[in-house]
Amino acid sequence: MWLLAFFWALYFALHSLLATTWLKAAVARRWPTAARFYRLAYNQLSVWGFLLLFRYQSHLPDNQLFAITPLGLGIGCGLLAAGVLVAVAALRGYDLAEFAGWAYARRGPAAADGPLRTEGLNRLVRHPLYLGLLLGLLGFWLLAPTAVRTVFVGCNLAYLLVGTRLEERKLAQRFGAAYALYRARVPQLLPLKRRA
């Protein structure tokens, strides 16, 4: 299990490193014509790396940590379904061409010039996609609470917390005072308490 945790930590560290502004700027300076494809390549590497690690972990010997009750199964299904619904609704609020990288391939750095999005689920939390992932991961774990899934979900949850902080920094840098005002009004991840 330690090796699996190490691989996930390595994956998320690489994921974060490749998402840094300074690395993207360095690539743009070194290979100006290729820079517009950076986001596409980043997403491809992220998806394929994730799938390879997920496949690796699915072949590991595993054991159930505790018996699944009908209540636990129901809660797990509910959380997983809620997570998928929240994530899909969150994605509908974003420019998917920018998110995937196609907009950068077509328009270059100008693709990042869009406004701060505060409508839809972004009115309730600043990171609705991460909220969907959080709910989905908890549901996924409750459906089969095994040692391998515990490592997988634990590493993903830890990265969600770290990734949220990193994303906050980038958004504050990109949108300045508008993001500071938005951050003061809207909770980060859980829509429990709305600020005035």
Inside any domain, residue 102: yes
Q: What residue numbers bound the domain in which 19 lies? A: 2-185
Over residues 57-75, the pLDDT tens digits come to 999 999 998 988 999 999 9
* Count of domains forming the chain: 1
Question: What average pLDDT score do residues 130-158 get?
Answer: 96
Per-residue pLDDT, 196: 52
Inside any domain, residue 196: no
- Burial of residue 142 (CB within 10 Å: 0-12, 13-18, 19+) is buried
Inside any domain, residue 54: yes
In this structure, what are the phi and psi dihedrals at residue 188, rounded to the nearest 5 degrees?
-70, -55
3-class SS of residue 64: strand
Over residues 84-135, the pLDDT tens digits come to 999 999 999 888 888 888 888 888 777 777 888 899 999 999 999 999 999 9
Q: What is the mean pLDDT of the chain?
A: 91
- Burial of residue 187 (CB within 10 Å: 0-12, 13-18, 19+) is middle
pTM assigned to the model:
0.87
Query: First and final CA of the chain: distance in angstroms?
Result: 45
Inside any domain, residue 146: yes
Residues 6+ apart with CB under 8 A from 108: 35, 36
Inside any domain, residue 176: yes
Inside any domain, residue 100: yes
Inside any domain, residue 194: no
